[in-house]
Structure 1
């Protein structure tokens, strides 16, 4: 495989603008960004109520909190390895991850994994938009359809603007989510008693392995598109840095929220991601729980945008297997060749 010739030009502007590369190869002179940005991107990507729900699994099966958290730690640590190492493909190849699969499956044969991945995107976004609407309905009860439409539109707009806006949104949300959920976590630890709601909490290999598998599988699911968000990094970015920052961000938020979910599930009789957060937060300051639930909505919209972006790249890649597609928006220094075609 030969990459297009690189032209020595000035470094790309950091001004936020609509992405032009789509599924095209990102030339080295257009690479930009800081490797540590991978950490907040994936921290917020995982810091959603969906992640917390994954932590409910062990308690629901009668597993005591200590063993539930142990299963979560093992599952997250193992699953994130599979995800984080794929992030290194981005700066090395400069291509969306699904386009890279053409090397194994061929130009048209790659449609098989494309279809599977699209279902992953759809599944996540359906669950996320339902949770986000439930959160909004705690304050504004009523019709759900308008909220579904609004959040999907917002997610699509962010995705269409592309890579840089996604990173900006996720990075700034990280600071907000850490601040708010730190208070919530402390409140939960101070006001709730672990295992008080799990009758006969005990160790069970089946429950332990199910919780471990749920945590690991949740993390591994990001492996199919993690390098989409590292492909604009300079090609000289050290492998260790890409993997480490991605790992720290994705694993850190998953360990936090899944463990918090396990704790809430062990301490509350009927754990529910939204109701539990609202109840615990309101014990600290009246209305804080409701505020926390609403703060979780932008994070859900953010990861929906990430999924929409990945789905668009995958869809375009599939169509390009039959009809050659080139971006309509042209960058100031477009590559001279349609590099993904070299995988045919």
Structure 2
């Protein structure tokens, strides 16, 4: 009974994976611009194999074919649903991202540990199946315990690689840049959205000149922050809402957000960025909105804004200026 259950389940899995591979190959041949990164393809296939292997273990323990697909589905979905807290959200994720990954590549360390975990889980499952299908012996417990330890070690390596935060790394060579007509502002990012950069550079240039009249020196280099992109700490962060873009300007909200983020400080990519830093950005943003809107501001606020901009650009985790701005 055990062997029959395993054969039926893995036969279905092999047929399913073969269909997935065939669909990818056909799509790659027929769809212009379609590409699939080898690392993503490998993790997708090993993800499905690991989930299927755990399903097979459940199937032989309960000796029922229906149990295997149900458990495999639960294994696939549970980390995705509940795993954010312990950094295993993507452990069994075989899909793609919903946002742009342009200008980034898979982190090889995370990919390697991802494959290691999947391989360890699949091996553990096969060992458990093997001992279940053999006569009882003293070695059975040792084999199972050893395989569980192997999975635990692999999972520890995976967690140490910070998979949720570090799954992708920048590919700076893919960046393109546009400079404002005055040459004072440079905006860079992925080639796919290059058309936005000259518009953004002009919008930021005009706003920066208005701040300079109040004695506030803003950043001159910005990079577009697409989904999955961790920027160089030396550049400002630009996020553009394409709905608000006109032929000559990006939205004022995007301009303000870029100006109050003069550096892509590493701690801004933490799951919970420092509240003090975010509060200071909000205060400076209120002042910037007034300046860009032509609202008169007090000299004391202008000096405080200048000091605040310097503090934000320093990426200091503490010592924020004590400034309360009342628009």
Same fold (TM over 0.5): no
Bigger Cα Rg: 2
TM-score normalised by length of structure 1: 0.25
Q: RCO higher in 1 or 2 (8 Å CA, sep ≥ 6)? A: 1
TM-score normalised by length of structure 2: 0.26
Bigger share in helix: 1
